[in-house]
Structure 1
């Protein structure tokens, strides 16, 4: 393991030397939920950049990240410029957007309304300007991909809840997902879906005008999918409670900016996308719990279960609500999973 670390360090040193950043000061910035690791670099003249180190299998995410950033910049939005890249080695040198993530500002107590407003406007702007036909090779967030993602709930979450599903139960849950997903997938327009659109991945750039004041990070999982998904991701965040008044106002703000989107269809799609996203996160956190996961991530479990139950209360999601009522206690076995 130590030899691998030494070799990786040599690869990074060579990459930085080729990019002209060999003598820059380097400060670790930690990792995210993935295997990616980040460092802030400061050159002698004060210029800064971010090193993204996606080692091993993580290198496969570098080309999609480059591609999606380019599409976002083409749409007039703020995705980081690339100063240097070595995709086969999983290395990128990125524009530094600073430290003011929307999450940090919210935790500091800043007014949430302007932050959620510009983040909502970014989505309306993107959905108005991006033509899905211009990127036919991007992943399609449709029925096969969505049902594959919620399989983690059926496997990891039900196992962690001590309610493992037999073949018949698993088939019933799969059928319930298909029953609720199919009616909404063609009911709203599709556009560029960023997937992890939440305050931790949005950066405040006050020197830029309009929607460009919102910097966009962690976009490598982008694809083509329903326009409701990213607004749901923003407003029903696993990491924080968003007041109902903000949620309702931002939905209205988005729909006002995009009068061609039917409100009833959008709200139905929003509920189904919420159920699907929350179920995937529940499965992922249950995986972490089974492996002795981090307390910071396990702390999301109760909130996400509440969000999931709220989503499946929509009449369109009755098949899922019936399944959950039959197979899980009202608290979703959260206390059991957390070992309480």
Structure 2
């Protein structure tokens, strides 16, 4: 990755002149990340490149300020240039939960305990001043499956009936007695860092929360335990749900909301990963679809999902799920 043209001047102004700029990562959006190394001062940072008009770093900055103010380990902000979409961030290092657990699978239970405890802690705090995760957003996201996956799989489906089915089940996630919390929306093993220097925040660093909204507490728990990119054993998922319920004591029909939001999120991700292949030329995301279909079908078994489960049974036959797009992975 070539650093943005404005980066050297930005780093100079920020007090990081002559620092090295090394590629770090890109993601499914237009954002890119670079590691900034100042050998003379023996310090490191991360440069976020969120180029306008495609990206706007201000939501990330707002949520970071909120999380930091509540004692959580979001990256400290060292400098910002909103005109060029550049932000200089604290470097949390290289110990990401996904890779750490690949090397140390015996730590899986303890790491997930910490991640669930962090969520329970976050959900006791006042929510950030963000827009609500409302019905229109749920429907827009769930609709990505009929918009992108179904045409790619050669399916002509009843999209209006799909929306109606979701309208029948989404009220369980909108109950007035369920607390409204900060929903990070992408809380999973690739966006959580192990940061031993931040023990007060469970030793976990938070990333990729720029799309946060205010909504139901089950959403981020689903994001963590029904991970698109790594298998979480069902027995561990059940243990961690029980742990969350002991710590947070959520109100409302929590188990039903968990299943509904799990199905909504998994349908959304199936659509997004198909779009990344069809529109953005990133076929590697198709390799995650079998896991996403497995998770979606598990959620659809909950009685609260009956209308949506019936729609899938009528519109998406088993032969068009799971590996339906596998032959295109190298396209």
Q: Helix, strand or coil: the match of 2:327? A: coil
- For the pair 1:160 / 2:156, whether they are aligned, the reply is no
**Separation in 2, partners of 1:212, 1:26:** 30
**Partner residue of 1:320?**
308
**Runs (4+) of structure 1 moved beyond 6 Å?**
none
Unaligned 5+ segments in structure 2 are: none
Unaligned 5+ segments in structure 1 are: none
1:50 to 41, 46, 51: 46
**Residues 174-185 of structure 1 correspond to what in structure 2 (within 5 A)?**
174-185=163-174
**Partner residue of 2:325?**
337
How far 1:291 moved relative to its partner?
4.2
Equivalent pair of 1:76/1:212 in contact (CA under 8 Å): no
Equivalent pair of 1:121/1:211 in contact (CA under 8 Å): no
How far 1:157 moved relative to its partner?
1.1
**Separation in 2, partners of 1:14, 1:292:** 31
Q: Which moved more, 1:320-329 or 1:90-99?
A: 320-329
**Separation in 2, partners of 1:65, 1:192:** 13
Equivalent pair of 1:25/1:41 in contact (CA under 8 Å): yes
Deviations 1:159-189 (A, max 9, x none): 1111133xxx111011001111023311521
Structure number with the higher helix fraction is 1
Return the TM-score normalized by structure 2. Answer: 0.93
- For the pair 1:150 / 2:142, whether they are aligned, the reply is yes
How far 1:32 moved relative to its partner?
0.8
Q: Which moved more, 1:179-188 or 1:279-288?
A: 179-188
**Separation in 1, partners of 2:131, 2:173:** 18
- For the pair 1:218 / 2:208, whether they are aligned, the reply is yes
**Partner residue of 2:197?**
207
**Partner residue of 1:74?**
69
**Partner residue of 2:226?**
236
Q: Helix, strand or coil: the match of 1:203? A: strand
**Partner residue of 1:268?**
256
How far 1:119 moved relative to its partner?
0.6
Equivalent pair of 2:274/2:285 in contact (CA under 8 Å): no
**Separation in 2, partners of 1:292, 1:51:** 24
**Partner residue of 1:173?**
162
**Separation in 1, partners of 2:179, 2:260:** 15
Equivalent pair of 1:282/1:304 in contact (CA under 8 Å): yes
Equivalent pair of 1:305/1:332 in contact (CA under 8 Å): no
The verdict on how the C-alpha distance between 1:157 and 1:307 changes in structure 2, with shifts beyond 3 A counting, is: same
Deviations 1:38-95 (A, max 9, x none): 11011122100000001133432x1110010111111111000000011221110000
Deviations 1:80-114 (A, max 9, x none): 00000112211100000000011110122341112
How far 1:332 moved relative to its partner?
3.8
